[in-house]
């Protein structure tokens, strides 16, 4: 008999009842398929950035300027004509699913290449490459650029590529990184900066966690880690942490919100698991300490996953800063293990990720802060699908205390990708597809 869940919004409103857990699988849910395919198809073009790059001849990124190569072009003012040209160049057939729209008064373009360009490719970079080529050609044609100045246009669009692996200093961006930077099989959808996710969801913490969870767990399926008895195990954790199944995350966070701590989140999670008969008392020692047991390891793991996000929302939300998220990931699970004698979220892998993560994000090593991390990093990759959604949620709660904030690293991505409803509000989209 299949597990069933109720799906709730990021504000605790019931969206769907009695949902078969298999219906939220990335293999079956139409909204998740659309989100994943859409992300692979989508590129953001910074027309205002191209105009500024050419005007200042600061081509190729930080520290690079070529005096005498300045070009004054009214690119933003001609955004409508450029949009039309890019659409004609990118599409394969008239009426296919190509999307090219100008945003923010012509300062940006969102380009979604036709699905066929992704379907017939070995990789997913057609959104970047085809968009960059189309924009380059459109600008050359629109402004009658000669053969000796065309390379400057190309460099303003593409950046240093192909001297570099990616488009360093360019003005076309994707939310996923290039394949050459993946840690191994199936890491592409986990290779998305937390800042990008927060910006895409307009810093809605639960939607940010949901989008991250969708991408992470789709990556888990691609890796082959959700086969056989692991399928249910993964879907339970995904639904309870990422999709607010049974209102476990929102309801608990709201109940604890005013006075909550990591410790009270542990208590609430354990009490809920006992009440729902997920765990039960096993042995009581002379000291009064009681060990617990479970007949459903997958569901206990799901409750721990939801509890880890609850603790993150309470702790990082209270201080409006994400730097403590590594401590939350570590100590919520350390405490829940001591409280119950059962394994914490992801059988200790969340704790392990947290220890290394704290060192690399802001401890002795320093580094860029939680917002620049993703699930493709050497210290975060070990917990598949359950640690980084909490990091992304913490970043969404940031009031501006990171050196590298979403506003600094992800302005273009946020402006463009947030214009797509299912990217911005994934919980609602997934529930609507069951």
Report pLDDT digits (tens) over 225-247.
Answer: 999 999 999 999 999 999 999 99
- Whether the pLDDT of residue 311 is over 60: the answer is yes
Confidence of residue 363 (pLDDT cuts 50, 70, 90): low
65-114 pLDDT per residue, tens: 889 999 999 999 999 999 999 999 999 999 999 999 999 999 999 999 99
Give pLDDT, residue 234.
97
Alpha helices per DSSP H over 167-204: 194-200
Percent of the chain whose pLDDT exceeds 70: 98
In whole angstroms, give the CA distance from residue 386 to residue 74. 46
Cis peptide before 377 (omega within 30 of 0): no
Domain extents for the chain? 41-180, 188-403
Confidence of residue 212 (pLDDT cuts 50, 70, 90): very high
Give pLDDT, residue 258.
86
Q: How does strand 42-46 pair with strand 108-112?
A: antiparallel
Confidence of residue 214 (pLDDT cuts 50, 70, 90): very high
Confidence of residue 359 (pLDDT cuts 50, 70, 90): confident
Write phi, then psi, for 14 (nearest 5 degrees).
-70, 130
Instruction: Give this prediction's pTM.
Output: 0.95
Mean pLDDT of the 26-30 span? 97
Give pLDDT, residue 62.
84
| Local structure of residue 218 (DSSP, 8 states) | H
| Domains 41-180 and 188-403 in one fold | no
Give pLDDT, residue 365.
63
Give pLDDT, residue 382.
86
The C-alpha R_g of the chain, in whole angstroms, comes to 23
- Whether the pLDDT of residue 209 is over 80: the answer is yes
Low-confidence winner among 303-307, 336-340, 383-387 (lowest mean pLDDT): 383-387
36-60 pLDDT per residue, tens: 999 999 999 999 999 999 999 999 8
| Local structure of residue 171 (DSSP, 8 states) | S
Give pLDDT, residue 264.
97
Work out the mean pLDDT of the chain and round it to a whole number: 95
Give pLDDT, residue 361.
67
126-179 pLDDT per residue, tens: 999 999 999 999 999 999 999 999 999 999 999 999 999 999 999 999 999 999
- Whether the pLDDT of residue 63 is over 80: the answer is yes
What's the first-to-final CA gap in the chain, in angstroms? 18
Q: Is 303 a catalytic residue?
A: no
In whole angstroms, give the CA distance from residue 433 to residue 74. 43
182-202 pLDDT per residue, tens: 988 999 999 999 999 999 999
- Other beta carbons within 10 angstroms of residue 222's beta carbon come to 17
Could you tell me which CATH class the domain 188-403 is placed in? mainly alpha
Q: Which of 8, 124, 365, 404 is catalytic?
A: 365
Bridge partners for 195 per DSSP: none
In whole angstroms, give the CA distance from residue 351 to residue 333. 7
Alpha-carbon separation of residue 373 from 197, 219, 226 (angstroms): 11, 16, 24
Confidence of residue 364 (pLDDT cuts 50, 70, 90): low
In whole angstroms, give the CA distance from residue 158 to residue 175. 16
Kindly write down the DSSP assignment for every residue of 2-56, as one continuous string. --EEEEE-TTS-EEEEEEEGGGGSTTT-HHHHHHHHHHHHEEEEEHHHHHHHHHH
Alpha helices per DSSP H over 57-204: 79-90, 115-119, 126-142, 150-158, 194-200
Confidence of residue 373 (pLDDT cuts 50, 70, 90): confident
Token pair recorded at residue 76:
């933003």
- Whether the pLDDT of residue 1 is over 60: the answer is no
Under a CB-based contact definition with an 8 Å cutoff, are residues 298 and 233 in contact?
yes
- Whether the pLDDT of residue 399 is over 60: the answer is yes
Give pLDDT, residue 423.
97
Provide long-range contacts, Cβ within 8 A and 24+ apart, for 96-105: 101/419, 102/47, 103/415, 103/416, 103/419, 104/415, 105/76, 105/79
Q: Which of 200, 94, 184, 241 is nearest to 375 (CA)?
A: 184
CATH fold of the domain at 41-180 = Alpha-Beta Plaits (3.30.70)
Mean pLDDT of the 422-432 span? 98
Mean pLDDT of the 293-313 span? 98
Give pLDDT, residue 381.
86
Per-residue b or e along 95-113, where b marks 16 or more CB atoms closer than 10 Å to that residue's CB: eeebbbebbeebbbbbbbb
């Amino acid at each position: 008999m299949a597990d069933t869940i109720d799906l709730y919004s990021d504000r605790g409103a019931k969206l769907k009842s009695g949902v078969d857990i298999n219906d939220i699988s990335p293999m079956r849910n139409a909204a998740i398929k659309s989100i994943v395919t859409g992300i692979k198809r989508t590129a953001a073009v910074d027309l205002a950035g191209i105009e500024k790059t050419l005007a200042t001849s600061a081509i190729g990124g930080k520290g690079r300027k070529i005096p005498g190569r300045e070009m004054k072009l009214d690119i933003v003012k001609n955004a409508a004509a450029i949009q039309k040209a890019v659409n004609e160049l990118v599409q394969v057939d008239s009426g296919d699913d190509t999307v090219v729209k100008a945003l923010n008064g012509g300062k940006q373009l969102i380009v979604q290449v036709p699905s066929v360009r992704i379907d017939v490719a070995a990789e997913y970079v057609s959104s970047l490459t085809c968009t960059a080529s189309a924009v380059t050609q459109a600008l050359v044609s629109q402004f009658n650029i000669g053969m000796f100045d065309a390379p400057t246009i190309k460099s303003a669009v593409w950046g240093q590529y192909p001297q570099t692996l990616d488009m360093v200093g360019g003005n076309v961006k994707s939310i996923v990184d290039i394949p050459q930077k993946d840690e191994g099989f199936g890491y592409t959808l986990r290779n998305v900066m937390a800042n990008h996710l927060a910006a895409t969801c307009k810093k809605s913490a639960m939607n940010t966690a949901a989008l991250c969870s969708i991408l992470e767990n789709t990556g888990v399926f691609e890796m082959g880690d959700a086969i056989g008895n692991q399928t249910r195990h993964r879907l339970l954790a995904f639904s309870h942490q990422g999709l607010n199944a049974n209102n476990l995350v929102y309801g608990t966070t709201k109940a604890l919100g005013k006075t909550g701590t990591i410790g009270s989140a542990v208590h609430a999670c354990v009490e809920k698991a006992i009440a729902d008969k997920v765990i039960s008392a096993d042995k009581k020692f002379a000291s009064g300490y009681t060990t617990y047991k479970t007949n459903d390891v997958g569901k206990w793991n799901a409750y721990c996953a939801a509890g880890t996000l609850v603790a993150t929302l309470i702790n990082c939300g209270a201080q409006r800063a994400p730097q403590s998220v590594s401590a939350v990931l570590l100590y919520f699970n350390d405490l829940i293990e001591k409280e119950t004698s059962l394994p914490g979220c992801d059988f200790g892998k969340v704790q392990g990720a947290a220890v290394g993560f704290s060192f690399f994000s802001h401890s002795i090593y320093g580094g860029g802060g939680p917002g620049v991390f993703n699930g493709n990093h050497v210290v975060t990759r070990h917990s598949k699908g359950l640690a980084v959604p909490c990091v992304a949620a913490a970043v969404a709660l940031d009031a501006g205390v990171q050196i590298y904030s979403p506003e600094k690293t992800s302005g273009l991505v946020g402006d463009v990708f947030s214009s797509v409803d299912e990217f911005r509000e994934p919980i609602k989209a997934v529930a609507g597809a069951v």
